[in-house]
Amino acid sequence: MDISSLVQRNNTKIVFIILDGVGGLPVNGKTELEAANKPNLDALSRISACGLHIPVAHGITPGSGPGHFGVFGYDPIKYEIGRGVLEALGVGIELKKTDVALRCNYATIKNGIIIDRRAGRIPTEKNVELTERLSNQIKEIDGVKIILKPGKEHRFCLVLRFPENITEKEAVVTDTDPQKEGKPPAEPVPLNEESRKVAEVAKKFIEKAEEFLKNEERANYVLLRGFSALPHIPTFEEKYGLKACSIAVYPMYRGITRLLGMETIPVEGDIKEEVELLKKVYKDYDFLFVHIKKVDSFGEDGNFEGKVKKIEEFDSFLPEIISLNPDTLVITGDHSTPSLLKAHSWHPVPLLINSPYVFGGLVNAFTERECLKGELGIIPATAIMPLVLANTLRLKKFGA
C-alpha cells in the first residue's frame, strides 16, 4: 500500500539506527547478541515493540543495498539499485545520465588465482595513494572518460563516463568478483547486446590496472562489482514528508541515503564520533539515520568475539542516544551476518521500535530468540516505516 496520501507533518523526531549485519547464528549455543553484555539495549527492548524483519523475502540473502531499501520502505525488488551507483554517490561523485558506476575492490592475485578479495583490507591511506596514481595513469578508454575515487580500506569507485546517455539496460554486466578466494577472477560479461560496449571498456580497464599494479605486494589486482546506471526513485521527503539526514562513515551507505534525498553528513571515526554528530544536528531534522558498520565487518571476517565487542561498544553509547528523547527510536539491522557463515544470510533480523504507543513488556533482551516473542512478530522490512510513522503520529486515518 502507498501510504504517502496518509502522511501528515508534525514536530516529532525519529532516530533510526542500523547495526549493520547485527543478526547471527549460535556458536557454542549463543548468537553474538546473546553472548554480548548489553544492559542498555536489553533494558530498552523490555519497554519497546520488538520483532524480526525479513529484508527481501523468505530464504533470500540480501546485499546491503536491498537490505537498506527494505527498511526504508522501498520494495527492494522493485527498486533494484546497483551497488556502483550507491558507491559513487557515497564518495561524492555527481553522477550523470551518461555514467556507468562500479564498486571496486583492490585484491591480491597469484598465478591467476585470487588469494585475498580485499587485499588484506589495505589502509585507506594506501588506497588513496594507489587510486590517485591509477587515475593519473588511466584517463580515457575508447573515448570513455575514467573517473576513480577512493573509498575506505580496499574499496574504490570507478565511473565510466560515456559521450552519450546510458540507460539502465546498457549497464547490465556481470561482476568480476567470484565472491570466494581460491578462484580466478571472472570476466565482465554483457547480459544483452546493448551492454557489450560497457563490458568491453571494463575489460580494458582491468587489463590496464593489472599492468599498473603488478608490482604491488597486496593490491595487485582490481575486482569490479555492481555495474549500474542512475535510476529514478522517489525521495524520502516525497514519500514520507520527513526532513531526513544520514550519518554514516562508509561511502556506500551515504550513497544509499543520498539517492533517497537525505542530507548526508560525512563523519570520520566510529560510534563515538557518529553519536557526537547525532547530538550536534539533532534539532535540525525530523528523521536521523545512523549507520554502524563494523558489526557487519566482524561478522564477514568470522570474528565472533569482535562482533560481540562491537555490539557491546554500541550499547555503552546507547544512553546518550536515549537522552535525546526522540519520539520514536528504531534499532535494527539491514540483514544478518552470522560469524558462523562469514557472510550475509537469509535469517530474520532483530527489530526494536520504542515509542509511547507500544505494548512492551514481552521480551527480556534484544536477541534473535527474544525478539521472536515480541508484539511485532516477523514482518517484511517494508512494514517498518509505516509502523515508525504511526508511532510518531504522522499517519492519518485511512477511510471514513
Tell which residue, 378, 398, 285, has the closest CA to residue 2.
Answer: 398
Domain ranges of the chain: 4-78+234-391, 85-228
User: What one-letter code names the amino acid at 21?
Assistant: G
Instruction: Report the SS3 class of residue 145.
Output: strand
Q: Give burial (CB, 10 Å; 0-12/13-18/19+) of 135.
A: middle
User: What one-letter code names the amino acid at 310?
Assistant: K
Q: Which residues pair with 16 in a beta bridge?
A: 289, 330
Question: φ, ψ for residue 145 (rounded to 5)?
Answer: -75, 135
Q: Is the pLDDT of residue 197 over 90?
A: yes
Q: Is the pLDDT of residue 252 over 90?
A: no
> How, if at all, do strands 287-292 and 244-248 pair?
parallel
Q: Is the pLDDT of residue 194 over 80?
A: yes
Asked if 259 and 85 touch (Cβ cutoff 8 Å), the reply is: yes
pLDDT confidence band for 67 (50 / 70 / 90): very high
Asked if 367 and 52 touch (Cβ cutoff 8 Å), the reply is: no
Residue range 297-306: average pLDDT? Answer: 96
Which superfamily is assigned to 4-78+234-391 in CATH?
Alkaline Phosphatase, subunit A (3.40.720.10)
Residue range 315-325: average pLDDT? Answer: 98
Query: What pLDDT does 142 receive?
Result: 95
Lowest mean pLDDT among 177-181, 274-278, 299-303, 319-323: 177-181
* pLDDT tens digits, 218-236: 999 999 999 999 888 899 9
Query: What percent of the chain clears pLDDT 90, i.e. is strictly above it?
Result: 84
Query: What pLDDT does 150 receive?
Result: 92
Query: What pLDDT does 83 receive?
Result: 79
Query: What pLDDT does 96 receive?
Result: 85
Asked if 274 and 310 touch (Cβ cutoff 8 Å), the reply is: no
Tell me the Cα Rg of the chain.
Answer: 21
Query: What pLDDT does 231 receive?
Result: 81
Residue 160: all three cell numbers together: 565510466
Question: φ, ψ for residue 49 (rounded to 5)?
Answer: -85, 125
DSSP 269: S
